[in-house]
Homo-oligomer: A and B are copies of this chain.
Amino acid sequence: MEIYQLEAFIAVSETGNLTRAAQMMNISQSALSSQIKALERELGVGLFIRQPRGMQLSRVGEKMISEARAVVQASLQMKQKAMDLHTRISGSLNIGINTDPKFLQVSDISKRMTEQMPGVSLSYIESRTFETSQMLRQEKIDVGFHYGRIQEDSIFSLTLSMVDICVVIPIGMAKHMEHERIETIATLPWVWTRHGCPFHLEFQNRLRGKNLKLNPVTEAVEENIVKELVKSGTGLALMRKDEALELVREGAAIIWNGFEMKILLGIACLEKRQSEKIISGFLNALKEKYKIS
């Protein structure tokens, strides 16, 4: 028993005529006849009385038609629900943020979204770049900020801007280091991260070109911790330039002149889910903010 058979059942019961019902459903009379016959056979009851005039509901058929309608009705509701989940603009959106909320200007994003899609409630969830694609797939987040490119086919990503990255040297190690060659810099103690932070991946790529290896001393995952460790003179570190300049202003560190890097800031979502109204609305809001076509 399948839904298409029940739809056939209903259509024939309404027209009382196999030919016209078949036209309505854009199939042949023959096919429709088979569908009805198969349904009757499976249920073990005669649904129609075949008369020269056409098909008339049997008494059993009259009792079954409401049940059939209930099934088809429920299936239509299910389809409708699926449509709603696509197109509705009320609901929630989990946003993965990979860095300082202040830097991402989260409050500005919230403001734009509450203007454009008032029904949507936003949640911000911490998501390191290397976790982003996994969290998207697991639907722990619906969209996620990230550094660098994401190569996976199943994930769509929009480039928002380029971020300057630089090397900071704690003030205690800074004497004459500002213009030092990289070979020396590499041997100094570094504050590092274990896992695929894009800053470090990219930096390592550049070092590998010169056959150099860093000397990591301390590991830290969170940016604020890195910042504190630099302040305390533990070691050199990679850092967004705006953060580095803060440290410079505080007199806690200097920026090494021998290195410059730009890394892209992007927003990602599942390829499949690009078309969902809430997600596409969010992406559009970011496009406006970052002035992307």
> Does A26 reach chain B (CB closer than 8 Å)?
no
> Does A4 reach chain B (CB closer than 8 Å)?
yes
Rounded to whole Å, the gap between the CB of A93 and the closest CB of chain B is 11
Nearest CB in chain B to that of A82: its residue: B43
Q: Are A67 and B77 in contact (CB under 8 A)?
A: yes
Question: Which one of B50, B78, B137 lies within 8 Å of A68 (CB-CB)?
Answer: B78
Q: Which of A45-81 contact B (CB under 8 A)?
A: 45-46, 49-51, 58-60, 63-64, 67-68, 70-71, 73-75, 77-79, 81
Please report A residues at the B interface, Cβ cutoff 8 Å. 1-4, 6, 43-46, 49-51, 58-60, 63-64, 67-68, 70-71, 73-75, 77-79, 81-83, 85-86, 137-139, 270, 272-273, 275
Majority DSSP secondary structure for residues of A touching B: helix
CA distance A67 to B79 in the complex (A): 9
Q: Are A85 and B45 in contact (CB under 8 A)?
A: yes
CA distance A4 to B63 in the complex (A): 24
Copies of this chain present in the complex amount to 2
Q: Can you list 7 A-B contacts with CB-CB less than 8 angstroms, sorted by A residue number?
A: A1-B3, A45-B86, A46-B270, A64-B81, A64-B82, A67-B74, A67-B77
Residues on B with beta carbons closer than 8 Å to the beta carbon of A74: 67, 70-71, 73-74
Q: Are A82 and B2 in contact (CB under 8 A)?
A: no
CA distance A59 to B50 in the complex (A): 48
